A and B are shown apart, each in its own frame.
Chain A
Amino acid sequence: MTVTQYRSAAPAGSDGFAQLVRAEWTKFRTVRGWMAGMILAGLLTVGVGLLSHGECGSQAGPSAPVVTGGPACSDPLGPGGEAVTDGLYFVHRSLGLDGSITVRVTSLTGSYSPAGASAQDLKQGVQPWSKAGIIIKSSDIAGSAYAAMMVTGSHGVRMQWDYTGDAAGLGGAVSAASPRWLRLSRSGDTITGYDSLDGTHWSVVGTATLTGLPATVPAGPFAASPDYTVVNSRSAAGGSGTGGPSQATAAFDRITLQGAGPDRTWTGTAVGGPPGGPYPVLGYRQSGGGLVVSGSGDIAPVPPSGEGSLANTLIGAFAGLIAMVVVAAMFITAEYRRGLIGVTLTASPRRGRILAAKALVVGLAAFVVGLPAAWAAPLIEDPLARSRGIFIYPVPVLTEVRVIGGTAALLAVAAVLALALGALLRRSAIAVTAVIAVIVLPYFFAVPLALLPAGAADWLLRVTPAAGFAIQQPYPAYQQVTFDYTPGNGYYPLAPWAGFAVLCAWAALALGLAVYLLRRRDA
């Protein structure tokens, strides 16, 4: 007797990965609370930044340890479109299409005003980035293109151009015993900087191309000196830097201009308006065959921070992240709680694929919610801030795409990490706390708490999943500007993609461990 096995007449269902993803997506979208949680995450990401309500020019209170100054009212824009500061005193004659200017700098001295000091309390000394040298500038309008060779307070000879360009030349400080020779030579739009110790042996420091430089441009000696600042290096939150204006005075001689224009006399100009504070008299005087020039201010990029910076606008991502993490962890822990995991594993016995499908669904959902939220945040907040007179620091388009897309990706990877920890720990409360402890808490310890020394705080933001927030850094840290480049001001210790890679590595590790344990453990 033969036994015929029963076979269902229904056609065999497909059990590919696509079906699994569809099943997980159905579970995800049909739980109303989770959908509400995702929408809440999106709204929080957009909305929290709306709390910003500063007025331009308002300074942070004396007890505010976190921000450095209030939001800016306006900054000139440099040729690259970035916010810059352009304040210097320069003495110029006109230079034609082909020509050069050469000087010898014999001294650089300065004075500065410690916080709150009046003109009588000036202290002697140059700032690390006090600058004096020669400059070719397309006009005396703030923000115009330039190339300059300079001696600095403590960074040796530099060639700088168009605010962000910076190349190092000879080291050491300048003095009458050890003067520095500087030369800028122009050939059309190309300007090459040279330095020399003796005026005979020259070496190239850098070359800059200033597109659209007029045929005749002002060129000559200049001096500038950025504000004296005490960077609170202890706190990663960025201390409220105390400081005040400073001034630099430099002596130039052996000035030669080749290819000079018809004018035979020097003209002095204070770019960026006359400086305020305790330095009413800046300018130049002829001394022997040379010039002595005094200037205050800085010709450099502005490191954006605080209100008006994209990093601030996207602060809502923290709130969105917490909501997203709760939903993502529950996406797996709820299965254990309800016993649905048994059905899921029976329907699809290949356990690794289940987690992969879940990760795909929750990651994509988080990205799809996060992307429009992160995109909308500056669209909504920037006009409101502008209406209060706040200057919105410009961000290059590609950087903005990276920051906004990166914020969505940050939420997505955090959701996957939450899912993995949920699968590992199986209890929602513990999984959610664990994710918040590894992503939000390191940032909290490093920034708002501000108890850790900067070094320790930096390490927290290098090795923990919180390193991923680096993807949100919208502006580069300029080493030629003294500033508190701290996470609190929107500057992270790791490069954007490196920080994001650290977060991804943690998520991958947790997911791998979760797959391994899901296979080994009974459900």
Chain B
Amino acid sequence: MKLSGALNAEWTKARTLASTGWLLLAAIAATVAVSTAVAAAVTCPAGNCAEDPAKISLTGVYLGQAVVAILAVLMISGEYSTGMIRVTLAAMPGRATVLAAKAAILTGLVLAAGAVAVLGCVLAGHIILPGHGIGPSHGYPSLSLGDGPVLRATAGSVLYLVLVALLSLGTAAAVRDSGTAIGVVLGLLYLFPIVAAVLGGSPLGRHLQQIGPMTAGLAIQATTGLRHLPISPWAGLGVLAAWTAAALLAGGLVLCLRDA
């Protein structure tokens, strides 16, 4: 009863904010647009490049996650900036319940929007890539959801977006300020691959790819060359889940222990 009330309250807040809808739309649009652009740009005339059709089609997730992160951060930082948090906590003194309710609503929203975005990406890849020399007629696996690895990459990308959203929510609960929270989240996501790229194939570079939330988490998108991945797909998603759990724990502790 307590949780359902909290869920109802958070759902009402999320659904009545204009920004929620816009950000979800923006996340879908950004994801599909980037995927389409990358699929259109990649060509493999000789038909023997080491391309991964699923990974190419799902590239938009790299940008879409940033929009999803904004949505997640604003869900709690927005309350701090307007002072709404005090009303929320007065109405629902169980602070862990509040965070759990927010996480649940966020999960639902991102699951829905992420599924739409990721399916849009796969559809774009399915239509565009065969024309660019990356299709079944060139020896590449067909980009259909009936294919095990493709299904794993697709469903995994949606899960990835959900985990990034929850990571952002936890971070925002911990640092409160929206600008700082988004800076921390995007820094965590994008800096690991940039630094790892500079370190190249050195063991440390590989370790950075194994522990970075984005580099590890998006291993779930790989359908070819699995042996050369720094981390296996599901283990990678597990690394991201560990980051998310840590962020939610830290956010929950700060929320419970500090004055709002």
Q: Which of B57-115 contact A (CB under 8 A)?
A: 59, 62-63, 66-67, 69-70, 73-74, 77, 81
Knowing A61-B206, A64-B201, the reply to whether A429 touches B74 (Cβ < 8 A) is: yes
Most buried by B among A337, A451, A452: A451
Knowing A323-B183, A429-B178, the reply to whether A443 touches B70 (Cβ < 8 A) is: no
How distant is the Cα of A486 from the Cα of B181 in the complex, in angstroms?
Answer: 33
Which A residue sits closest to B80, measured CB to CB? A337
Knowing A322-B187, A444-B62, the reply to whether A337 touches B81 (Cβ < 8 A) is: yes
Q: Is the interface of B mostly helix, strand, loop or mixed?
A: helix
Knowing A322-B186, A322-B191, A329-B179, the reply to whether A61 touches B196 (Cβ < 8 A) is: no
Option from B62, B74, B187, B204 in Cβ contact (under 8 Å) with A449: B62
Q: Are B179 and A452 closer than 8 Å at their CB atoms?
A: no
Option from B177, B196, B200 in Cβ contact (under 8 Å) with A330: B177
B25, CB-defined interface residue at 8 Å: no
Nearest Cβ in chain A — how far from B259, in angstroms? 17
How distant is the Cα of A456 from the Cα of B62 in the complex, in angstroms?
Answer: 17
How distant is the Cα of A66 from the Cα of B228 in the complex, in angstroms?
Answer: 13
Q: Which of A48-96 contact B (CB under 8 A)?
A: 48, 51-54, 58-64, 66-67
Query: B196-238 vs A: 1/0 string, CB under 8 Å?
Result: 1111111011101000000000000000000010100000000
B residues within 8 A CB of A330? Answer: 177, 179-180
B residues within 8 A CB of A60? Answer: 200-202
A residues within 8 A CB of B70? Answer: 429-430, 433
Nearest Cβ in chain B — how far from A473, in angstroms? 14
Knowing A451-B56, A453-B42, the reply to whether A66 touches B197 (Cβ < 8 A) is: yes
A447, CB-defined interface residue at 8 Å: yes
Nearest Cβ in chain B — how far from A439, in angstroms? 11
Most buried by A among B41, B197, B204, B206: B197
Stretch from A164-172, A280-288, A311-319, A396-404 contacting the other chain = A311-319
Q: Are A429 and B202 closer than 8 Å at their CB atoms?
A: no
Q: Are A453 and B41 closer than 8 Å at their CB atoms?
A: yes
A333, CB-defined interface residue at 8 Å: yes
How distant is the Cα of A312 from the Cα of B77 in the complex, in angstroms?
Answer: 36
Contacts between chains A and B (CB distance < 8 A), count? 138
B residues within 8 A CB of A443? Answer: 194
B residues within 8 A CB of A319? Answer: 187, 191, 195
A237, CB-defined interface residue at 8 Å: yes
Most buried by B among A60, A312, A448: A448
A326, CB-defined interface residue at 8 Å: yes
Chain A residue total in the interface (Cβ 8 A): 55
Q: Are A326 and B202 closer than 8 Å at their CB atoms?
A: no
Which A residue sits closest to B23, measured CB to CB? A430
Q: Are A448 and B196 closer than 8 Å at their CB atoms?
A: yes
A360, CB-defined interface residue at 8 Å: no
How distant is the Cα of A453 from the Cα of B132 in the complex, in angstroms?
Answer: 12
Nearest Cβ in chain B — how far from A54, in angstroms? 5
Which A residue sits closest to B183, measured CB to CB? A326
Q: Are A452 and B194 closer than 8 Å at their CB atoms?
A: no
Option from A37, A62, A436 in Cβ contact (under 8 Å) with B66: A436
How distant is the Cα of A59 from the Cα of B186 in the complex, in angstroms?
Answer: 31
How distant is the Cα of A443 from the Cα of B197 in the complex, in angstroms?
Answer: 11
A508, CB-defined interface residue at 8 Å: no
B144, CB-defined interface residue at 8 Å: no
Nearest Cβ in chain A — how far from B204, in angstroms? 6
Which A residue sits closest to B49, measured CB to CB? A234
Q: Are B182 and A444 closer than 8 Å at their CB atoms?
A: no
Nearest Cβ in chain A — how far from B156, in angstroms? 17
How distant is the Cα of A37 from the Cα of B73 in the complex, in angstroms?
Answer: 19
Which B residue sits closest to A445, measured CB to CB? B62
Q: Which of B157-194 contact A (CB under 8 A)?
A: 177-183, 186-187, 190-191, 193-194
Q: Given A63-B230, A448-B194, 6 other A-B contacts at CB below 8 A? A: A64-B201, A322-B187, A326-B179, A326-B182, A433-B182, A456-B41
Closest 7 A-B residue pairs measured CB to CB? A64-B201, A428-B179, A60-B201, A67-B200, A326-B183, A448-B197, A63-B228
15 example contacts (A-B, Cβ-Cβ < 8 A) are as follows A60-B200, A322-B186, A330-B179, A427-B178, A428-B178, A431-B179, A433-B186, A441-B63, A441-B66, A444-B193, A445-B38, A445-B62, A447-B197, A449-B62, A449-B193
